[in-house]
């Protein structure tokens, strides 16, 4: 049997794998599979379509319905262009903090979930504990979807799910949904001296961007939830690219925008309004001069909002376990909404570390936070 490892030791192993979203996570997944096998636990692997990545599902305890999912993602964001004080892929301790890419978001929770496995195996559980590790959460919660679909198809029905994103060990009962789109505007080029005969793709993209800005103003006075730091649905443009030379009317322009919606706001309605403005206001004018002119939208990420009643037994139980009666809501997204919507499992978010430390150089998780997470899992599961 594999020797018992502490959360910190396992975290050092996990941080040592460069699993930025552009890279494979297979080496990490194989490492975890071998670790679980060493404790007599069989892991099921769900590979990506191209086989370069995978999610992992493992069950400790009796087969059957009920029990709880401990869910975490294995990918992290890049370190290029960031000024780190130490190697981001070597866990380094300084002043009670453990530094490394992913230490906070969210390999710290992954490590805690794995560290307790030997105790769970020895406890002869009455209800199962499931470990779910996914890929590509950072680029739209894509990796967990195939695993959830397979679990749903075979009738898996856990009673609860805990997603261990960094919340400073506060119980989180809601987060906004999110969608991202690329918009491609196709016009007709011409020499700039003949601009009235052309269709300036940048200018029409700009009109659409202004419409999106105005829509943001409408959303700001729409449904509100005062438990969020930003209490309303938001939408904004993040990137734009177009044109080739100052004396050429541009025939192409692309930009990206995203919105983060409260659960009360239908995300389809938001994009439908933007599409309608493009199709009824902009395209007729563009095509009067260039029949081939077009505006298209490409969705590149989508995850649903999360909401669970603060009086739900799962929330009450978790508050008792962490020793804090408060709860919160966060603007960032997680796979929690997918477990709740697509698997029908009541889901909360609670994990070690602060989201303020995520995605930054010198990302860290405090050792005190890992200790609190270890204590939470023992009280919750044993």
Contacts of 193 (CB under 8 A, 6+ apart): 247
Cα–Cα separations (whole angstroms), residue 342 to 73, 116, 195, 227: 17, 27, 51, 25
- The label of the residue with tokens 């199709």 reads 279
Q: Which of 203, 209, 215, 210 lies closest to 286, judged by CA?
A: 203
Q: Quote the DSSP letter at residue 128.
A: -
Cα–Cα separations (whole angstroms), residue 144 to 12, 73, 84, 110, 263: 24, 8, 30, 15, 21
The number of residues in the chain equals 382
Phi, psi of 253 (to 5 degrees): -150, 135
Mapped onto helix, strand or coil, the DSSP state of residue 70 is strand
Phi, psi of 107 (to 5 degrees): -70, -20
- Encoded tokens for 62: 């009796």
Contact 322, 165 (CB under 8 A): no
Contact 280, 289 (CB under 8 A): no
- The label of the residue with tokens 């003949």 reads 194
Taking residue 229's Cβ as centre, other Cβ atoms within 10 Å add up to 9
Q: Which amino acids are annotated catalytic?
A: 75, 137
Contact 336, 175 (CB under 8 A): yes
Q: Quote the DSSP letter at residue 2.
A: P
**C-alpha to C-alpha distance for 342 and 130, rounded to whole angstroms:** 17
Q: Taking CA 34 as the corner, what is the angle to CA 29 and CA 37, rounded to the nearest 5 degrees?
A: 125
Phi, psi of 28 (to 5 degrees): -65, -45
Contacts of 288 (CB under 8 A, 6+ apart): none
């Amino acid at each position: 049997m594999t020797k018992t490892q502490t959360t910190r030791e396992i975290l050092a192993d996990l941080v040592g794998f460069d699993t930025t979203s552009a890279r494979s996570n297979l080496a990490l997944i194989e490492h975890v599979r071998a670790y679980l096998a060493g404790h007599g636990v069989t892991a099921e692997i769900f590979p990506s379509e191209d086989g370069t990545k995978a999610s992992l599902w493992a069950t400790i305890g009796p087969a059957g319905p009920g029990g709880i999912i401990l869910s975490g993602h294995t990918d992290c964001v890049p370190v290029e262009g960031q000024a780190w004080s130490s190697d981001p892929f070597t866990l380094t301790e300084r002043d009670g903090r453990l530094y490394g890419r992913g230490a906070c978001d969210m390999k710290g929770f992954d490590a805690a979930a794995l560290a307790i496995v030997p105790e769970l195996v020895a406890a002869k559980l009455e209800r199962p504990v499931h470990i779910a590790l996914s890929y590509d959460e950072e680029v739209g919660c894509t990796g967990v979807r195939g695993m959830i679909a397979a679990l749903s198809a075979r009738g898996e029905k856990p009673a609860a799910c805990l997603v261990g994103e960094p919340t400073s060990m506060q119980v989180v009962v809601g987060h906004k949904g999110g969608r991202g789109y690329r918009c491609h505007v196709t016009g007709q080029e011409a020499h700039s001296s003949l601009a009235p005969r052309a269709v300036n793709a940048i200018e029409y993209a700009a009109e659409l961007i202004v419409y999106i800005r105005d829509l943001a103003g409408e959303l700001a006075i729409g449904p509100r939830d005062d438990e969020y730091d930003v209490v309303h649905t938001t939408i904004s443009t993040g990137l734009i690219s177009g044109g080739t030379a100052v004396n050429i009317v541009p025939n192409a322009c692309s930009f990206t925008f995203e919105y983060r919606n409260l659960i009360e706001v239908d995300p389809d309605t938001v994009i439908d309004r933007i599409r309608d403005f493009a199709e009824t206001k902009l395209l007729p004018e563009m095509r009067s001069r260039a029949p081939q002119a077009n505006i298209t939208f490409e969705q590149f990420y989508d995850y649903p909002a999360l909401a669970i009643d603060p009086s739900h037994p799962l929330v009450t139980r978790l508050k008792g376990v962490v020793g804090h009666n408060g709860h919160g809501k966060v603007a960032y997204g997680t796979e929690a909404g997918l477990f709740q919507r697509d698997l029908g499992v009541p889901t909360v978010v609670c994990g070690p570390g602060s989201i303020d430390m995520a995605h930054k150089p010198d990302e860290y998780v405090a050792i005190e936070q890992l200790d609190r997470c270890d204590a939470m899992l023992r009280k919750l599961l044993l």
